[in-house]
């Protein structure tokens, strides 16, 4: 749209203007919040552990009772109801029944975090008193009143509404530092600096640096992080002490290494954050002074450490003086994101996520909305990544417009991917449960994290283009946190849900989830809409030549603001071509294959349409990423939904022409569902923009337009053809699919339907058939003579048992897990037949040994029957997919 | 008054003399430090070793630059100089008389670095030569070496140590 140049012809902003690296919010602030949140989440773990130690047995009893009650209630239904309604009713009954217990579990967990938080607050307010006493700090006093006055003047210059208290240490104190509770910071000067208040080359930059720490709230953040650590240490020691004293060391090893790793990484992260904040404080001090020279001159006085070891470097709270001077000379250097920066945030988010998920799901169980708990957990962790990684990428994109260096996105994306994997593997939330059965599924989270980072970088490029239109810099920070937060929240939610399903229920279940549950999830739909709107705003044409916003330039004239990227006609053409080509493929397929022969066939066609329409978006994403590189992912936020919408429009036109009804609901479903799936595909396609470009001869504009149309169309055709030919693999064989127009279509994939069918039909039938046998057995037990008892067993009990066994053996469970449960039922019936036969024989022959053998076998039958009942409860708990208590939250012992 | 073992001067007298000498030196090289001199001196004499063995702290939200007062170095150098002067005076006194003569020795040292009796031709003549009464040129050079060695020993930079040594000796040798 409008005046946008080819990426290869982008001219960098002229040199000379000094960029204000502090113009927008620092990503390290969010990283600090992430650190605090991750540390507090360890409190959630301890709270859960306390609950399991004290109330765990009661909780299991409640869960099992509730499952049993729900099952019984289903069995009592006189009129059979369709599986989905029955399943929904059972789930609701269970949720309501378990609500109080789950709330209790959540309250304990939140209590753990609360204790850690309260302890941290106590420490953060008490520590300054101790620090002051222990380090013998005092006010500057009368002899240094002039120094106090100068300090106050500098505080006013630094933009602080209220000057912090200034103190000095004893003669042996050598470095300045700040401390104090939130809202009441204090700056401590070494006497050697305080007495030299007349020396502007020493006193001013030193004090301004400390005041910058105060202004950036570094004092509160650093002391809070430290205090949470102190408060958490005794809490984390609790499971260790109890484990050692009680002799139950089953969880000890697993817990210890996770806790130790968390402590070590928290220390490293804290030091890393402090180092980052030092650069910001230096830059702010120089900014207030209006000159970098005084700060640089002071930094030159810092003696470099002689060959510091790697660990010492990682634990250092200050960067090397040479690095600090370099950052002052080239402020844009500190705005880049490294692999480690992104790894840290992703690690913290992944450590936090499962613990928060457990608590939030438990909180929403009573209301029957565990899905809200999952979304809330994603919306908690997502903005942490968005406000750190996303905001950092946006800031880097913005700063890169004033230099010739492009921001490096690939290391950041790799950092996020690695951080998510390591965080999940090491989170305290995995203690005792062992995490995924197949750790390979972690690749799902890694891939989505990588893609989400590429997408954030892309949309950051669009906003860097559009920045002259954004009046307020606070709006940019807010937009970055919200938009990138949504991207990461969606990626986290999809990644963790999908990998859990793939790990527990298999690939077939996962692919059905993609076309049934994913498209109807509000978070995904909101993200698609927000990204499209955000990209549309950023791509709106601007005036031919605009200057950089004045707030972005610290010194010098604001330069002409460069713009780049594809023209609107190129990316719009790419989107339309992809959509038309994809729908064209479907139309050709329909004309060749004819109309579907069955409802299941119709379901397969519908799901295939979702995939193809979504793939149209993915095709345009890949092509735009290749044409426009990292920025292409941002353009795709609008272009991909446009491609999908084009395919959907085509589908609706063809479907209506073939006699389909065009209802409002149908139109909404048909357009939104592929857009949601399209976002997932765009996340996986976005990294294409990070692949270094091959040499591309610059063609004429007409040629470029042709490329923008042809390449996406051909890509869409290729992907659609692959999907159509491999539809049995991608969508699933028609026979296994639930028809799309049944109530089950939106929520129940085949494996679930199988499980629910077993619960709602098969098991009640077996139980119902067994009920009269129990009466006959009771009658035989109450018989006055043994002959009468033998007669009853042979005439009534055994024939009925044989009939049920025959009925049970005719059942063909669809999954291995279901077959395993059902085999317990068959084993119970077989053992009952053997046991009662021997019992009758023993009674008839008056043979005690045969009688004893019969009784033993009947015990075996009872055990197998109990096993079957447990299997049914597991099936009920998992809503059709067998789940054990450990699978849905009873962790940590 | 307490006597310190092995020292030629009682400790409180020695401390007074050291303080006086350090102040005189600081007046020349770091007059701004006089504002906190008394408490720095008190801190120093409470535990001198802690000044030299304090570990470097990498302060959180600090600047990262270590700024030291010159006062402790002046006090350390002053201590060495006062002890040197006291030993010079006591060398002439028989061992068995030293304890009884400590007040006398103190007076002699005080006279030495206060420039002694400032009236009289001899004093004026020595002042013109840049020397305190009772100190030879060789002793003046030795004093500077002592002060410099002491300041350098505790890690003061070469330039600053040299300045301080000059200031210490200068305050002994030159009036005012």
Quick one: tokens of A843? 């009674």
Identify the helix (H) or strand (E) that includes residue A555: strand A553-555
Contact across the interface for A193 and B67, Cβ inside 8 Å: yes
Most confident by average pLDDT, A134-138, A507-511, A653-657: A134-138
CA distance B65 to chain A (A): 5
CA distance B49 to chain A (A): 11
Q: Which residue of A has its CA nearest to B67?
A: A174
pLDDT-derived band at A522, boundaries 50, 70, 90: very high
Quick one: tokens of A234? 């005794």
Cα distance between residue B106 and residue B83, in whole Å: 10
pLDDT surpasses 50 at B3: no
* Among candidates B60, B63, B68 on the partner chain, residue whose Cβ is nearest the Cβ of A274: B60
Find out whether A516 and A742 touch, Cβ atoms under 8 Å: no
Which positions ≥6 away from A450 have C-beta within 8 Å?
A: A413, A414, A416, A417, A687
pLDDT in tens, A556-567: 888 888 877 788
Contact across the interface for B65 and A144, Cβ inside 8 Å: no
Contact across the interface for B65 and A298, Cβ inside 8 Å: yes
Q: Name residue, tokens 């989440």.
A: A41
pLDDT attached to residue A695: 59
pLDDT attached to residue A869: 83
| Secondary structure of B81-130 in HEC code, one letter for each residue | HHHHHHHHHHCCCCHHHHHHHHHHHHHHHHHHHCCCCCCCHHHHHHHHCC
pLDDT-derived band at A11, boundaries 50, 70, 90: very low
Contact across the interface for B58 and A172, Cβ inside 8 Å: no
* Among candidates A144, A176, A192 on the partner chain, residue whose Cβ is nearest the Cβ of B63: A176
State ipTM: 0.81
Contact across the interface for B69 and A177, Cβ inside 8 Å: no
The three-class DSSP label of residue B175 is coil
Which positions ≥6 away from A846 have C-beta within 8 Å?
A: none
Cα distance between residue A824 and residue A18, in whole Å: 76
pLDDT attached to residue B31: 94
Return the residue in B26, B51, B60, B70 with the most chain A beta carbons within 10 A, the one to mutate for interface testing.
B60
Quick one: tokens of A652? 């609706």
CA distance B101 to chain A (A): 35
Percentage of chain A exceeding pLDDT 90: 51
DSSP A178: E
pLDDT surpasses 70 at B74: yes
pLDDT surpasses 80 at A877: no
* Mean per-residue pLDDT, A781-804: 85
A161 exposed, middle or buried (CB, 10 Å; 0-12, 13-18, 19+)? Answer: exposed
| Secondary structure of A711-762 in HEC code, one letter for each residue | HHHHHHHHHHHHHHHCHHHHCCCHHHCCCCCCHHHHCCCHHHHHHHHHHHHH
pLDDT attached to residue A243: 87
Cα distance between residue A120 and residue A107, in whole Å: 19
The string of DSSP codes covering A187-234 is: EEE-HHHHTTTT-TTTHHHHHHHHHHHHHTTHHHHHHHHHHHHHHHHH
Cα distance between residue A330 and residue A327, in whole Å: 5
Return the residue in A144, A175, A298 with the most chain B beta carbons within 10 A, the one to mutate for interface testing.
A175
CA distance B55 to chain A (A): 10
Q: How many residues does chain B have?
A: 176
Cα distance between residue A450 and residue A440, in whole Å: 16
* Mean per-residue pLDDT, A122-134: 95
Cα distance between residue A535 and residue A624, in whole Å: 14
Cα distance between residue B23 and residue B32, in whole Å: 11
Cα distance between residue B152 and residue B166, in whole Å: 13
* Among candidates B35, B59, B72 on the partner chain, residue whose Cβ is nearest the Cβ of A171: B72
Q: How many Cβ atoms from other residues are within 10 Å of residue B156's Cβ?
A: 23
Q: Which residue of A has its CA nearest to B48?
A: A172
Q: Which residue of A has its CA nearest to B52?
A: A172
Q: How many Cβ atoms from other residues are within 10 Å of residue A323's Cβ?
A: 16
Interface of A with B (CB under 8 A): 143-144, 170-172, 174-179, 190-196, 198, 202, 206, 209-210, 213, 218-219, 222, 226, 274, 277-278, 281, 298-299, 301-303, 316-318, 321, 324
Contact across the interface for A172 and B51, Cβ inside 8 Å: yes
Q: How many Cβ atoms from other residues are within 10 Å of residue A199's Cβ?
A: 12
pLDDT in tens, A831-872: 999 999 988 888 888 888 888 888 888 888 888 888 888 888
Cα distance between residue A444 and residue A451, in whole Å: 11
Contact across the interface for B64 and A175, Cβ inside 8 Å: yes
Contact across the interface for A195 and B35, Cβ inside 8 Å: yes
Contact across the interface for A196 and B65, Cβ inside 8 Å: no
pLDDT attached to residue A829: 92
Contact across the interface for B61 and A213, Cβ inside 8 Å: yes
pLDDT surpasses 90 at A635: yes
Most confident by average pLDDT, A236-245, A465-474, A479-488, A731-740: A479-488
Q: Closest by alpha carbon to A579, among A719, A725, A671, A716? A: A716
pLDDT surpasses 80 at B97: no
CA distance B115 to chain A (A): 30
Contact across the interface for A172 and B50, Cβ inside 8 Å: yes
Cα distance between residue A426 and residue A351, in whole Å: 7
Quick one: tokens of A222? 């650093």
Interchain CB contacts (distance < 8 Å): A and B: 105
Please provide the average confidence, as pLDDT, over all residues in chain A. 86
pLDDT attached to residue A314: 83
Cα distance between residue A141 and residue A438, in whole Å: 66
Cα distance between residue A782 and residue A661, in whole Å: 66
Cα distance between residue A708 and residue A363, in whole Å: 50
Contact across the interface for B62 and A174, Cβ inside 8 Å: no
Contact across the interface for B40 and A191, Cβ inside 8 Å: yes
Quick one: tokens of B51? 């000044």
pLDDT in tens, B116-161: 444 444 445 544 444 455 567 787 788 899 889 988 888 888 898 9
pLDDT attached to residue A116: 96
CA distance A170 to chain B (A): 7
Contact across the interface for A191 and B36, Cβ inside 8 Å: yes
Contact across the interface for A301 and B68, Cβ inside 8 Å: no
pLDDT attached to residue A510: 85
The three-class DSSP label of residue B39 is helix
pLDDT surpasses 50 at A893: no
pLDDT-derived band at A307, boundaries 50, 70, 90: low
Give the pairing type, strands A177-179 and A186-189. antiparallel
Cα distance between residue A604 and residue A614, in whole Å: 15
Q: Closest by alpha carbon to A712, among A613, A575, A587, A584? A: A575
Find out whether A102 and A366 touch, Cβ atoms under 8 Å: yes
Return the residue in A169, A174, A187, A224 with the most chain B beta carbons within 10 A, the one to mutate for interface testing.
A174
pLDDT in tens, A89-98: 677 787 788 8
pLDDT attached to residue A459: 95
pLDDT in tens, A17-37: 788 889 888 999 999 999 999
Q: Which residue of A has its CA nearest to B35?
A: A143
pLDDT-derived band at A343, boundaries 50, 70, 90: very high
Q: Which residue of A has its CA nearest to B54?
A: A172
Quick one: tokens of A873? 């409860």
CA distance B14 to chain A (A): 21
Q: Closest by alpha carbon to A625, among A711, A726, A749? A: A711
pLDDT in tens, A351-396: 999 999 999 999 998 887 888 999 999 999 999 999 999 999 999 9
Buried b (16+ CB within 10 A) or exposed e, A516-555: bbbbebebbbebbebbbebbeebbeebeeebebbeebbbe
pLDDT in tens, A741-775: 443 333 345 667 777 778 777 787 788 778 788 88
CA distance A331 to chain B (A): 18
* Among candidates A175, A213, A274 on the partner chain, residue whose Cβ is nearest the Cβ of B66: A175
pLDDT attached to residue A880: 75
Q: Which residue has the higher pLDDT, A660 or A1?
A: A660
Q: Closest by alpha carbon to B173, among B119, B104, B123? A: B123
pLDDT attached to residue A888: 44
pLDDT attached to residue B130: 47
């Amino acid at each position: 749209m409008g005046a946008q140049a080819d990426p290869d012809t982008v001219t960098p902003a002229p040199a000379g203007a000094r960029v204000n690296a502090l113009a927008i919010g620092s990503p390290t602030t969010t990283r600090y919040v992430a650190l605090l949140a991750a540390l507090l989440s360890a409190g959630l773990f301890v709270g859960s552990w306390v609950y399991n130690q004290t109330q765990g047995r009661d909780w299991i009893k409640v869960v099992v009772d509730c499952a049993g009650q729900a099952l019984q209630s289903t069995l009592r239904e006189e009129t059979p109801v369709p599986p989905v309604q029955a399943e929904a009713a059972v789930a609701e009954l269970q949720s309501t029944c378990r609500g109080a217990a789950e709330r209790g579990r959540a309250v304990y967990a939140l209590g753990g975090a609360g204790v850690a938080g309260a302890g941290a607050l106590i420490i953060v307010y008490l520590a300054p008193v101790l620090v002051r006493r222990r380090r013998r700090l005092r006010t500057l006093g009368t002899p240094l009143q002039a120094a106090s006055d100068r300090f106050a003047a500098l505080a006013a210059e630094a933009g602080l509404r209220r000057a912090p208290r200034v103190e000095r240490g004893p003669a042996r104190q050598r470095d300045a530092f700040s401390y104090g509770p939130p809202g009441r910071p204090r700056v401590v000067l070494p006497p050697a600096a305080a007495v030299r208040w007349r020396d502007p080359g020493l006193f001013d930059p030193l004090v301004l640096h400390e005041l910058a720490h105060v202004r950036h709230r570094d004092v509160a953040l650093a002391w809070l992080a430290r205090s949470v650590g102190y408060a958490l240490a005794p809490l984390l020691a609790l499971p260790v002490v109890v484990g050692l004293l009680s002799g139950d060391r089953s969880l000890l090893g697993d817990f210890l290494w996770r806790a130790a790793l968390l402590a070590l990484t928290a220390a490293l992260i804290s030091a890393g954050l402090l180092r980052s904040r030092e650069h910001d404080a230096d830059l702010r001090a120089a900014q207030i002074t209006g000159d970098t020279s005084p700060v640089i001159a002071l930094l030159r006085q810092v003696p470099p450490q002689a060959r510091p070891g790697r660990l010492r470097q990682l634990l250092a709270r200050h960067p090397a003086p040479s690095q600090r001077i370099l950052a002052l000379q080239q402020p844009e250097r500190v705005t880049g994101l490294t692999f480690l920066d992104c790894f840290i945030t992703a690690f913290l988010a992944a450590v936090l996520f499962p613990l928060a998920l457990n608590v939030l799901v438990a909180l929403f169980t009573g209301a029957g909305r565990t899905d809200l708990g999952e979304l809330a957990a994603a919306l908690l962790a997502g903005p942490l990544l968005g406000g750190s990684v996303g905001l950092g990428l946006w800031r880097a994109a913005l700063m890169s417009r004033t230099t010739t260096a492009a921001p490096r996105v690939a290391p950041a994306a790799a950092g996020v991917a690695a951080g998510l994997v390591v965080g999940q593997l090491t989170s305290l939330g995995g203690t005792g449960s062992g995490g995924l059965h197949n750790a390979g599924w972690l690749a799902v989270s890694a891939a989505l994290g990588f893609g989400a980072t590429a997408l954030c970088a892309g949309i950051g490029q669009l906003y860097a283009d559009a920045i002259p239109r954004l009046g307020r810099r606070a709006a940019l920070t807010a937009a970055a946190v919200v938009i990138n937060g949504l991207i990461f929240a969606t990626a986290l939610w999809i990644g963790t849900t999908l990998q859990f399903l793939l790990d527990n229920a298999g690939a077939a279940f996962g692919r059905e989830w993609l076309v049934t549950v994913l498209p109807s999830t509000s978070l995904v739909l909101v993200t698609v809409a927000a990204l499209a709107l955000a990209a549309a705003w950023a791509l709106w044409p601007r005036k031919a030549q605009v200057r950089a916003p004045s707030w972005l330039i610290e010194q010098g004239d604001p330069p002409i603001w460069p713009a780049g990227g594809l023209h609107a006609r190129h990316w719009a053409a790419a989107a339309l071509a992809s959509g038309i080509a994809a729908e064209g493929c479907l139309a050709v397929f329909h004309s060749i294959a004819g109309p579907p022969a069955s409802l299941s066939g119709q379901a397969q066609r519908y799901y295939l349409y979702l995939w193809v329409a979504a793939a149209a978006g993915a095709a345009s994403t890949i092509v735009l990423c290749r044409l426009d590189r990292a920025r292409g992912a941002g353009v795709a936020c609008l272009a991909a939904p446009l491609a999908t919408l084009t395919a959907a429009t085509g589908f609706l036109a063809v479907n209506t022409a073939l006699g389909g009804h065009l209802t409002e609901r149908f139109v909404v479903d048909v357009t939104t569902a592929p857009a949601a799936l399209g976002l997932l595909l765009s996340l996986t396609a976005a990294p294409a923009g990070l692949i270094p470009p091959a040499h591309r001869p610059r063609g004429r504009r007409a040629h470029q337009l042709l490329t923008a149309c042809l390449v996406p169309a051909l890509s869409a055709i290729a992907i659609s053809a692959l999907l159509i030919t491999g539809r049995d693999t991608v969508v699933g064989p028609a026979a296994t699919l639930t028809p799309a127009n049944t109530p089950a279509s939106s929520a129940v994939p085949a494996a679930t339907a199988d499980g629910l069918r077993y619960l709602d039909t098969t098991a009640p039938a077996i139980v119902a058939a067994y009920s009269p046998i129990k009466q006959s057995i009771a009658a035989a037990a109450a018989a006055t003579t043994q002959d009468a008892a033998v007669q009853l067993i042979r005439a009534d009990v055994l024939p009925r048992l044989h009939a049920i066994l025959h009925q049970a053996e005719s059942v063909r469970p669809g999954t291995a897990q279901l077959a395993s449960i059902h085999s317990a039922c068959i084993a119970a019936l077989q053992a009952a037949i053997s046991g009662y036969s021997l019992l009758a024989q023993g009674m008839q022959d008056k043979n005690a040994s045969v009688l004893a053998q019969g009784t033993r076998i009947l015990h075996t039958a009872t055990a197998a029957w109990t096993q079957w009942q447990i299997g049914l409860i597991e099936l009920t708990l998992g809503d059709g997919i067998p789940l054990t208590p450990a699978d849905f939250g009873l962790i940590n012992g | 008054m307490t006597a310190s073992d092995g020292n030629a001067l009682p400790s409180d007298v020695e401390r007074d003399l050291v303080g006086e000498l350090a102040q005189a030196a600081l007046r020349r090289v770091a007059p701004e430090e006089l504002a906190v001199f008394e408490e720095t001196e008190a801190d120093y004499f409470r535990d001198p070793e802690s000044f030299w063995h304090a570990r470097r702290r990498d302060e959180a939200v600090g600047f990262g630059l270590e700024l030291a007062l010159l006062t402790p170095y002046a006090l350390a150098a002053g201590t060495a100089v006062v002890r040197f002067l006291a030993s010079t005076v006591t060398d002439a006194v028989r061992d068995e008389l030293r304890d009884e003569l400590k007040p006398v020795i103190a007076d002699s040292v005080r006279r030495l670095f206060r420039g002694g009796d400032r009236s009289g031709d001899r004093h004026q003549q020595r002042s013109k030569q840049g020397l305190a009464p009772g100190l030879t040129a060789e002793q003046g050079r030795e004093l500077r070496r002592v002060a410099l060695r002491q300041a350098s020993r505790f890690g003061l930079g070469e330039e600053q140590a040299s300045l301080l040594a000059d200031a210490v000796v200068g305050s002994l040798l030159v009036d005012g």
